[in-house]
Structure 1
Amino acid sequence: MEWLVIIVLFGSFFVLLGLGVPISFAIGISSLLTIGLSLPIDSAIAVISQKMVSGLDSFVLLAIPFFILAGNIMNQGGIAIRLVEFAKVLGGRLPGSLAHVNILANMMFGSISGSAVASAAAVGGTMAPLQKKEGYDPAYSTSVNISSCPTGLLIPPSNTFIVYSLISGGTSISALFLAGYIPGLLMGLGLMLVAGIIAKKRNYPISPRASRSEAIKKTLDALPSLGLIVVIMGGIIGGVFTATEASAIAVVYTFILAFVVYKDVSLKQLPSIILESVVTTSMVLLLIGASIGMSWAMANADIPYLISDALLAISENPIIVLLIINLVLLVVGVFMDMTPALLIFTPIFLPIATDLGMDPVHFGVMMTFNLCIGICTPPVGSALFIGCSVSKVKIDQVIKPLLPFYAVLFFILMLVVFVPSLSLALPQFFLGY
């Protein structure tokens, strides 16, 4: 009976996805069919409805619409070009400097906007013509943009960690935010190392040195944007406000920045920004609600324990089990976007990881890093499609240039998995976690 439940749940889910059903509806329908195996259909509908509503009744989830609104304001506020100019100051003298600028700008813009796709579009759209003008191979420059745009999903503030905190049963958001810094920076530095080696071999140019006055001006222009990270994380670490309260502060900060300081956004644009944020929020929350229903259906059928027993039957060695989990997540990331993958597979793999002695914060960073790689991979990687679209390069042209970047990302992922201190050092130092 248990394996019948697994077949019905995942079989119907992937069939519905294959038919083009929106993922939130596919999750809800497959969960309903699964619960219907043990309950009358009217009772199954009542149960899944109650689970969706009760799951969304969470103070933590208030942070998501606020961070989405703050990100949309920043996206419209001319932030990308200022961060690109600041990145030129930081990385402008390295071999193949524009590739390093692209990576640094993605790290900063992604962390501020909280969106890899927005980062790929905004930074990539700015950098692609500059790199083409300097003689860079378009496929190479596109691969740099695609592989680096997810770095901001690890460097806080990150909606991904908020979602994980909810689905994992209340893991500290503050600890998750701090835990993402070192892996996120390692991710960016690893990509810069690969980009530098390739640039050296191809003799890509070094950008002209900026004058001192020009460097100071570009730095001062970017500091207000980067100040958002300082305000948010400083307030959270200092205990001034919670992560949820920080999201509301982020909206006020970005509003003042875009409308008063930079003046790149007018009040006439505000309704459309709010509407876009509402639409995005409704999609995310519907997905979360449906996934909570699926989590209950899986727990009710003991699916996590069945999968745990199956994994431990293969090997009881923690290293082997973690490698299997990561390989499964890498495959899942190829076919599924980050948020639904996080929502569906956290309840399955987190109990296994904790039984092996892994901290929930460490597991959340590992899972997020893993799925960051997934959104850069074909056939359905969102960052891959957006990156190719803005640079007008075909997907098949960037697969080969992406391979060395995939290799370094996988290497750093293994470091994050098997060296827990990379994720836990900052939460332990600042929060005593």
Structure 2
Amino acid sequence: MEVVAGIILFTTFFLLLIFGAPIAIAIILSSVITFLAVLPFDVAILTSAQRMVTGIDNFTMLAIPLFVLSGIIMNNGGIAFRLVNFAKLLVGKLPGSLAHTNVVGNMLFGAIAGSSVASAAAMGRIMTPMQTAKGYKRTYSAAVNIASAPTGLIIPPSSVLIVYSLVSGGTSVAALFMAGYIPGILWGIAVMIVAYFMAKKENYPVSNLPSLRDALYIVWSAIPSLLLIVIVIGGIVGGIFTATEGAAVAVLYSVLLSMIYKGLKIKDIPSIFKETIEITGMILFLITASALFSLVMSYMGLPEAISKSLLSITDNQIGIILIMLLIMILVGTFMDITPAVLIFTPIFLPVATSFGMDPVHFGMIVCFALCIGNMTPPVGSALFVGCSVANVKIEEVIKTLLPYFAAVIVVLILVAFIPQLSLFLPNLFGL
């Protein structure tokens, strides 16, 4: 029965994707069809409906729309320019300094906005004209922006980590947030190393450092924006408020800061809420669909069956981790991060915990591996946005992106096989 149910579920799912069905619809229909094959009609339909409703009936889930709203307000409130100036101050003497500014800017803004798309759009619009004026190739500028934008999904606050917390059975959000810093920073450093050697080869210019007075002003201007990270993450880690309450604090802080910067206008509010509703609706619909998919897999015993199949291939821990990494990288290239986390966490987490892997460490592996898909075709959202704002074709950027892709894969392997890269900070803070 497990084999038959698995064949029906995954065959229907992939056939629907091939025929162009939206991924959430493909997940729901394949799940319902599988249930109908093994349960009476009324039981299958009622169970499916109940699971989709209860799938988002969780207080922690409220953090997602609030963090989305906070990021959009920040994106419209004049925050990005101040972070770019601060990033330029940090890396101004490196060859290809504007590219390194783009990377650091994505890491900082991504950590505030929690979105690779918002980062790629905001940084791309600011940095591409500046780099073009200095003689940088547009493909180089776009590749750097695309490769570094997903760091915002690893460096907290991150809705992807919240989703993993929910689907993994309540892994501490605070621990996951702290675990994201070192892997996210290593991702950014890997991109900067590749950008450095490319800049040396092309002889791209080095930016002039500002005067001491200007430097102090730049730092002073950036401090209020950076404080958001300190307040929100510090409050969550310190137990002052939950992740959901922290998200509400982030919204309030971003509104006040945008009003101080005079970047938020009354006329922008309807469009901000509209964008928030659209993004939140998409995420929550995917979560309800994936909750049903997970129920079907659990009911049929598919996670256990897949775990046994993996363990039958090899009982070597390194081999199993490499197989999981390969599968998740491939999945990330054609599936959005949220449903991928929801679908594959219940499958692979029992395998990982069976040989003693910490759920926080595994969460970083899953999210890191799937986030790589943001910079690859055919569904890489950061890739599409980065190419659009740089006004270059995807096929022109792919070749330039390959070294960055390889560098990020190296970091993924380090994160997978050196647990302390993920667990050092959570352990340090007693999480």
| TM-score (norm: length of structure 2) | 0.98
Q: Distance in 2 between matches of 1:283 and 1:129?
A: 32
TM-superposed deviation, 1:18: 2.1
Q: Identify the residue that residue 102 of structure 2 maps to in structure 1.
A: 102
Matched residue of 1:208: which SS? coil
Q: Residue 411 of structure 2 aligns to which amino acid in structure 1? A: I
- C-alpha deviations, 1:78-131, integer Å up to 9, x for none? 211221111111111111101100000000111110100111111011111111
Counting only pairs closer than 5 Å after superposition, residues 297-308 of structure 1 correspond to structure 2 as 297-308=296-307
Could you say what secondary structure the match of 1:36 adopts? helix
Residue equivalent to 1:128: 128
Alpha-carbon distance in structure 1 between the residues aligned to 2:236 and 2:151: 21
Deviation of the 1:329 alpha carbon: 0.4
Letter aligned with residue 277 of structure 1: T
SS of 1:94's partner is coil
In the alignment, what sits opposite 1:63? 63
Q: Distance in 1 between matches of 2:162 and 2:290?
A: 15
Match of 1:404 in 2: 403
Q: Is 1:249 aligned to 2:249, yes or no?
A: yes
**What's the CA shift for 1:238?**
1.9
For residues 27-52 of structure 1, give each alpha carbon's deviation from its aligned partner in whole angstroms, at most 9, with x where no partner exists: 11111011111112221110011111
- Report 1:162-173 matches (<5 A): 162-173=162-173
How far is the alpha carbon of 1:268 from its aligned partner? 2.2
Map 1:104-253 onto structure 2 (within 5 A): 104-253=104-253
Counterpart for residue 36 of structure 1: 36
Number of positions where the alignment pairs a residue of Structure 1 with one of Structure 2: 431
Partner residue in 2 for 1:395: 394
Number of the residue aligned with 1:426: 425
- Matches of 2:397 and 2:274 in 1, distance apart? 34
One-letter amino acid matched to 1:51: R
The separation in 1 between residues aligned to 2:54 and 2:332, in whole angstroms, is 28
Partner SS, residue 57 of structure 1: coil
2:94 corresponds to which letter in structure 1?
L
Q: Distance in 2 between matches of 1:246 and 1:370?
A: 26
- Distance in 2 (CA, whole Å) between partners of 1:386 and 1:275 is 19
Query: Does residue 382 of the first structure (1) align with residue 384 of the second (2)?
Result: no
Task: Quote the offset at 1:185 in angstroms.
Answer: 0.8
Give, in angstroms, the shift of residue 340 of structure 1.
1.3
Shift of 1:237: 2.1
Q: Name the structure 2 match of 1:326.
A: 325
Task: In structure 1, give the amino acid aligned to 2:245.
Answer: E
Whole-angstrom distance in 2 between the partners of 1:238 and 1:305 = 37
User: Once the 2 structures are TM-superposed, how far is the Cα of residue 271 of structure 1 from its aligned partner?
Assistant: 2.1
SS state at 2:37 partner: coil
Instruction: Look up the match of 2:258.
Output: 258
Structure 2 equivalent of residue 2 of structure 1: 2
Query: In the TM superposition, what is the alpha-carbon distance from 1:20 to its structure 2 partner?
Result: 2.2
**Equivalent position of 1:366 in the other structure:** 365
**Residue 170 of structure 1, CA deviation:** 0.5
How much has 1:302 moved relative to structure 2? 0.8
For structure 1, the residue ranges without an aligned partner over 5 or more in a row are none
Per-residue CA deviation, residues 149-206 of structure 1 (Å, 9 max, x unaligned), is 0011111111011011011111000000000001111111111111112211221100
CA RMSD, Structure 1 to Structure 2 (Å): 1.0
